C-alpha cells in the first residue's frame, strides 16, 4: 500500500514538471517567434547598422595667399609608409626588416616588436614612417618586390613655402587636444586645428567640412584604409583579423575643402621689414593709411611654422622657440610698451582740436619743469632746454617741457576721451588673435587698481598727467596702435581699423577726429622733425629723410629703468642692453600713392633717432621703388623652388 502511494506521488511530480517544461518551451518559442518574425525587420536593421562603420574623410585645408596670388600656406602630398604583417610571409620578415633599415633607417628590432604587438590582428596597418621624401619613395618602389606587406598612404599636409617670412601672421596648426575635443563636437581625434595667426583666427573658414564613408566591419577587426596613387581612399580586401570584406563601399559623402583666405600683405615689403629686424628684437608695422590694410607686420625674433608640421624631425629647433626672447609672440600686437615721445603727436593734435593751444602758443623750456614752480622736478631730455617753443618746434625737437604744460592744460579727461576715439590703449579689432589692449591710464583706472589702498593713493594727481604727457608712467601702447595713430594723421583725421584679410570689410569711420587745421599744424611739426624747413634745421628724425619724398615722423625713447639706475653708467654703451630705453619711430608718406603709415620699435635700442628712424628711411625708399617688384619676383621663385616643394 505504501509503495502504491509513493508511486502516485512520483507520477504527480512528473506531470507537474512536464507541465512546467512545456510552459517554458512554449514561452521560448513565443519569444523566438516575436524576435524572428514579429520584430525580425527591426533587429535585421540593427544588425546591418552594426555591420557598417563610418570612416571620417578629412577635408583639405584652405590656402592662405596674398592679393597677388602668392601662396603663403597650402597643402602638399605627404606619403606615409605602412606595414601589414598579415600580408608578409613569416620567412620574409627578416628580409623586409633589413631592407627597411637600409632605405628608411628603421630599427629591425622595433619592427619585430610591432609585429608581436599586433599578433592577434595581423592585418593592422602599422605606421612605419610618416612624410617620407620623394627620394625614399622611389627607393621603396624600386625594392617593392622584396617588401611584401609594405604599402604607402598619401594625405594632405600643411606647407609654408616661405618658412619664417610672415610666420607670426600666418600662424601654425597642430593636433587637437583631448580637452578641446570635449568641447568641439565637430572635431575628431587626429584633426588639426589653428593655433596662432590667421590659421587660428580664420579656423572655421580654412578648415572645411569633413566627409565620411560607411564601410563594413567584421567581428573585432577594423577595416583597413589605404589610398590609391591619387590620394583617394580605398578599402583593402580584409579587416585587421584577416576576414574578407563583402562590400567595399555602401555610401559616402565627399569632404568639402576649406575656403582660401587672401591677405592684404605685400610679401616683398614684409620680407624686407623682417630682414631689417634680423639682428634686433622689435616690430615694424606698415599700414595703408586710408584703409587700415596691413601691408607688413614684422616681429623679431620670429619662427618657421613648418617646425610644427614636421616637429618630429625638428625637435631641437622646436625647443629654441621656448627660449628667451620669446619667438612666438607677435610683438606688433601681443606686446605693449611705454610709447614715450611718439605719444606727443596724439597730445598735440588733441590739444589743438580742443582749443587748449593754438599754433602760436609757446612755452618756455629751461631744461626742467615744476608744477606751479614748486615741488618735484621733471627734466627735459635736452638738459640746457629748448627756450621758447611753439607746437611745431616742440614736435620737431621733442621738447618735454612743452608737453608737460600741454598735458596739464588738456587734463586727463580730454586725454582719455580722445585716446578711446583714436584707438590708443584699447583693442584695435585687428583680425588676428592674442591682441593686447595696452593702457592709457585715467582716474577710474587708478581708483580701481588701488581700491585696497588708502584713498590718497586712489586719487589722480597732476603729476600723473605730467608723466602721461610724454608717454611714461603706467601708459603703454602696441606698435599697431601707434601705426593707427599715424594713419589717422595722414588720412585726414579718420580712425582706421587694421585688418589682414583682403575680404574683410572694416567699420566705416564717419567721425572726423581731427580737423584739417589741426592736422596741418601737426604735419608741419612732423615734417620739420625729418627735414629742414626754411631756416629751421631738421629735428630728431632727420635720419628718416628720403630725397624726393615728403616724409613726416616722430621719434620716441621709452624708459625701461629709472634715471637713478641709468646714472650709474657713464654712457649708453656701458649700460647692459636689457636696461637701455626702447627706441620708437612713427612715420608716414603724404605725397605718394598709396600713402602709408609706419611704426617701428627696437627693444632696448636706446634712441629712436639713431635706432629706428634710419629703418623708416629704408622702408619708404624700398616701398616706392622698383626694388620691391624685383624682391617680390625673387620670393615667388623661392616659394616655387622651396625644399619642401621640390622634395615632395
Kindly state the average pLDDT of the residues 278-291. Answer: 95
What pLDDT, on a 0 to 100 scale, did the predictor assign at position 646? 39
In sequence order, the 6+-apart residues with CB closer than 8 A to the CB of 318 are 307, 308, 311
Residue 236: pLDDT band (50, 70, 90) is low
Q: What percent of the chain has pLDDT over 70?
A: 85
Q: H helices then E strands: how many in the chain? A: 25, 21
Kindly state the average pLDDT of the residues 90-94. Answer: 88
| C-beta neighbour count of 50 within 10 angstroms | 9
pLDDT digits (tens, 9 = 90+) for 575-607: 888 888 999 999 999 999 999 999 999 999 989
Cβ-count burial 426-462 (b if 16+ within 10 Å, e if not): bebebbbbebbbbbbbbeeebeeeeeeeeeeeeebee
Residue 642: pLDDT band (50, 70, 90) is low
Residue 313: pLDDT band (50, 70, 90) is very low
Residue 313 pairs with which residues in a beta bridge?
none
Provide the terminal-to-terminal Cα distance of the chain, rounded to the nearest Å. 102
Residue 263: pLDDT band (50, 70, 90) is very high
Cβ proximity of 530 and 544 under 8 Å: yes
Residue 500, C-alpha cell as written in the block: 589682414
What pLDDT, on a 0 to 100 scale, did the predictor assign at position 328? 86
In sequence order, the 6+-apart residues with CB closer than 8 A to the CB of 600 are 282, 283, 284, 479, 584, 585, 586, 587, 612, 615, 616, 619
Kindly state the average pLDDT of the residues 146-174. Answer: 89
Return d(Cα 578, Cα 355) in angstroms, integer.
Answer: 41
CA angle, 72 as apex, 68 and 78 as ends, to 5°?
135
Residue 441, C-alpha cell as written in the block: 591710464
Q: Which residue has the higher pLDDT, 440 or 48?
A: 440
Question: Three-state DSSP class for 541?
Answer: coil
Residue 489, C-alpha cell as written in the block: 594723421
Residue 40: pLDDT band (50, 70, 90) is low
What pLDDT, on a 0 to 100 scale, did the predictor assign at position 499? 97
Residue 289, C-alpha cell as written in the block: 593709411
pLDDT digits (tens, 9 = 90+) for 475-523: 999 999 999 999 999 999 999 999 999 998 888 777 899 999 999 999 9
Lowest mean pLDDT among 32-41, 127-136, 173-182, 343-352: 32-41
| C-beta neighbour count of 250 within 10 angstroms | 13
- Give CA 292 to chain center in angstroms: 19
Cβ proximity of 192 and 171 under 8 Å: no
What pLDDT, on a 0 to 100 scale, did the predictor assign at position 22? 82
Kindly state the average pLDDT of the residues 235-243. Answer: 58
Closest by CA to 598, choosing from 582, 622, 581, 577, is 622
CA angle, 552 as apex, 546 and 557 as ends, to 5°?
105
Residue 647 has pLDDT above 50, yes or no: no
Cβ-count burial 349-368 (b if 16+ within 10 Å, e if not): bbbbbbebbeeebbbebeee
In sequence order, the 6+-apart residues with CB closer than 8 A to the CB of 560 are 578, 579, 580, 581, 582, 604
Give the pairing type, strands 71-83 and 64-66. antiparallel
Residue 581, C-alpha cell as written in the block: 630705453
Cell 583597413 sits at which residue? 224
What pLDDT, on a 0 to 100 scale, did the predictor assign at position 146? 87
Which structural domains are found in the chain, ordered by start? 77-158+211-254 (no CATH), 296-631 (3.40.710.10)
Residue 215 has pLDDT above 90, yes or no: no
Rg value, the chain, Cα: 36
In sign, the C-alpha dihedral spanning 534, 536, 540, 542 is positive
Residue 592 pairs with which residues in a beta bridge?
none
What pLDDT, on a 0 to 100 scale, did the predictor assign at position 488? 97
Return d(Cα 539, Cα 533) in angstroms, integer.
Answer: 10
What pLDDT, on a 0 to 100 scale, did the predictor assign at position 214? 65
What pLDDT, on a 0 to 100 scale, did the predictor assign at position 50? 53
Residue 52 has pLDDT above 90, yes or no: no
Residue 315 has pLDDT above 50, yes or no: no
What pLDDT, on a 0 to 100 scale, did the predictor assign at position 604? 93
**What is the helix (H) or strand (E) element at residue 585, kind and residue range?**
strand 582-589
Return d(Cα 161, Cα 167) in angstroms, integer.
Answer: 10
Cβ proximity of 359 and 522 under 8 Å: no
Summary mean pLDDT of the chain: 86
Residue 226: pLDDT band (50, 70, 90) is low
Q: Decide: residue 571, CB within 10 A, 0-12 exposed, 13-18 middle, 19+ buried.
A: exposed
What pLDDT, on a 0 to 100 scale, did the predictor assign at position 85? 85
Cβ proximity of 553 and 489 under 8 Å: no
Residue 272 has pLDDT above 50, yes or no: yes
Return d(Cα 169, Cα 298) in angstroms, integer.
Answer: 9
pLDDT digits (tens, 9 = 90+) for 396-454: 999 999 999 999 999 999 999 999 999 999 999 999 999 999 999 999 999 999 999 99
DSSP codes of every residue in 226-244: EE-TTS-EEEEEEETT-PB
Residue 90: pLDDT band (50, 70, 90) is confident
Kindly state the average pLDDT of the residues 616-639. Answer: 82
Cβ proximity of 425 and 419 under 8 Å: yes
Return d(Cα 163, Cα 308) in angstroms, integer.
Answer: 11
Question: Three-state DSSP class for 211?
Answer: strand
Question: Three-state DSSP class for 158?
Answer: strand
pTM of this structure: 0.82
- Give CA 291 to chain center in angstroms: 22
Return d(Cα 66, Cα 165) in angstroms, integer.
Answer: 13
Amino acid at each position: 500500500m505504501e509503495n502504491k502511494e509513493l508511486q502516485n506521488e512520483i507520477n504527480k511530480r512528473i506531470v507537474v514538471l512536464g507541465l512546467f517544461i512545456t510552459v517554458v518551451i512554449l514561452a521560448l518559442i513565443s519569444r523566438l517567434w516575436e524576435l524572428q518574425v514579429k520584430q525580425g525587420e527591426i533587429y535585421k536593421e540593427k544588425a546591418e547598422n552594426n555591420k557598417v562603420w563610418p570612416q571620417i574623410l578629412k577635408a583639405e585645408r584652405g590656402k592662405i595667399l596674398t592679393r597677388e596670388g602668392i601662396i603663403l600656406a597650402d597643402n602638399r602630398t605627404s606619403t606615409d609608409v605602412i606595414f601589414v604583417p598579415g600580408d608578409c610571409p613569416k620567412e620574409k620578415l627578416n628580409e623586409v626588416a633589413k631592407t627597411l633599415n637600409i632605405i628608411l633607417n628603421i630599427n629591425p628590432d622595433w619592427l619585430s616588436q610591432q609585429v608581436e604587438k599586433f599578433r592577434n590582428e595581423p592585418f593592422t596597418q602599422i605606421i612605419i614612417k610618416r612624410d617620407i621624401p620623394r627620394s625614399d619613395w622611389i627607393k621603396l618602389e624600386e625594392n617593392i618586390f622584396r617588401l611584401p606587406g609594405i604599402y604607402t598612404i598619401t594625405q594632405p599636409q600643411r606647407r609654408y613655402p616661405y618658412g619664417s617670412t610672415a610666420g607670426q601672421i600666418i600662424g601654425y596648426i597642430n593636433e587637437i587636444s583631448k580637452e578641446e575635443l570635449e568641447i568641439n563636437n565637430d572635431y575628431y581625434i587626429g584633426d588639426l586645428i589653428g593655433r596662432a595667426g590667421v590659421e587660428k583666427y580664420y579656423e572655421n573658414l580654412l578648415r572645411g567640412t569633413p566627409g565620411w564613408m560607411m564601410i563594413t566591419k567584421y567581428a573585432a577587426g577594423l577595416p583597413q584604409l589605404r589610398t590609391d596613387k591619387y590620394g583617394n581612399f580605398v578599402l583593402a580586401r580584409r579587416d585587421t583579423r584577416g576576414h574578407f570584406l563583402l562590400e567595399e563601399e555602401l555610401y559616402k559623402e565627399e569632404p568639402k575643402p576649406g575656403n582660401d583666405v587672401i591677405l592684404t600683405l605685400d610679401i616683398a615689403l614684409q620680407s624686407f621689414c623682417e630682414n631689417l629686424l634680423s639682428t634686433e628684437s622689435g616690430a615694424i608695422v606698415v599700414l595703408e593709411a586710408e584703409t587700415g590694410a596691413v601691408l607688413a607686420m614684422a616681429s623679431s625674433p620670429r619662427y618657421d611654422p613648418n617646425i610644427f608640421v614636421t616637429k618630429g624631425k625638428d625637435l631641437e629647433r622646436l625647443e629654441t622657440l621656448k627660449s628667451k626672447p620669446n619667438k612666438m609672440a607677435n610683438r606688433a600686437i601681443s606686446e605693449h610698451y611705454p610709447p614715450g615721445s611718439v605719444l606727443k603727436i596724439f597730445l598735440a593734435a588733441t590739444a589743438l582740436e580742443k582749443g587748449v593751444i593754438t599754433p602760436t602758443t609757446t612755452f618756455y623750456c629751461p631744461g626742467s619743469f615744476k608744477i606751479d614752480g614748486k615741488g618735484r622736478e621733471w627734466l627735459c631730455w635736452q638738459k640746457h632746454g629748448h627756450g621758447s617753443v611753439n607746437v611745431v618746434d616742440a614736435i620737431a625737437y621733442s621738447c618735454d617741457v612743452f608737453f608737460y604744460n600741454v598735458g596739464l592744460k588738456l587734463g586727463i579727461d580730454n586725454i582719455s576721451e580722445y585716446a578711446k576715439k583714436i584707438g590708443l590703449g584699447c583693442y584695435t579689432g585687428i583680425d588676428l588673435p592674442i591682441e593686447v589692449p595696452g593702457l592709457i591710464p585715467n582716474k577710474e583706472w587708478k581708483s580701481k587698481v588701488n581700491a585696497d589702498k588708502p584713498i590718497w593713493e586712489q586719487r589722480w594727481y597732476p603729476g600723473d598727467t605730467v608723466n602721461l604727457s610724454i608717454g611714461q608712467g603706467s601708459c603703454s601702447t602696441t606698435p599697431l596702435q601707434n601705426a593707427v595713430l599715424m594713419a589717422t594723421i595722414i588720412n585726414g583725421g579718420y580712425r582706421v581699423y587694421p585688418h589682414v584679410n583682403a575680404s574683410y570689410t572694416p567699420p566705416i569711420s564717419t567721425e572726423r577726429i581731427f580737423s584739417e587745421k589741426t592736422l596741418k599744424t601737426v604735419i608741419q611739426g612732423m615734417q620739420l622733425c625729418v627735414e629742414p624747413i626754411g631756416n629751421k634745421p631738421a629735428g630728431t628724425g632727420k635720419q628718416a629723410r628720403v630725397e624726393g619724398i615728403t616724409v613726416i615722423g616722430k621719434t620716441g625713447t621709452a624708459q625701461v629703468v629709472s634715471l637713478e639706475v641709468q646714472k650709474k653708467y657713464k654712457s649708453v654703451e656701458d649700460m647692459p642692453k636689457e636696461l637701455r630705453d626702447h627706441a620708437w619711430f612713427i612715420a608716414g608718406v603724404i605725397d605718394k600713392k598709396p600713402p602709408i603709415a609706419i611704426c617701428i620699435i627696437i627693444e632696448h635700442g636706446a634712441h629712436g633717432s639713431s635706432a629706428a628712424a634710419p629703418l623708416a628711411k629704408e622702408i619708404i625708399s624700398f616701398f616706392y621703388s622698383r626694388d620691391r617688384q624685383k624682391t617680390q619676383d625673387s620670393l615667388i621663385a623661392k616659394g616655387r623652388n622651396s625644399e619642401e616643394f621640390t622634395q615632395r
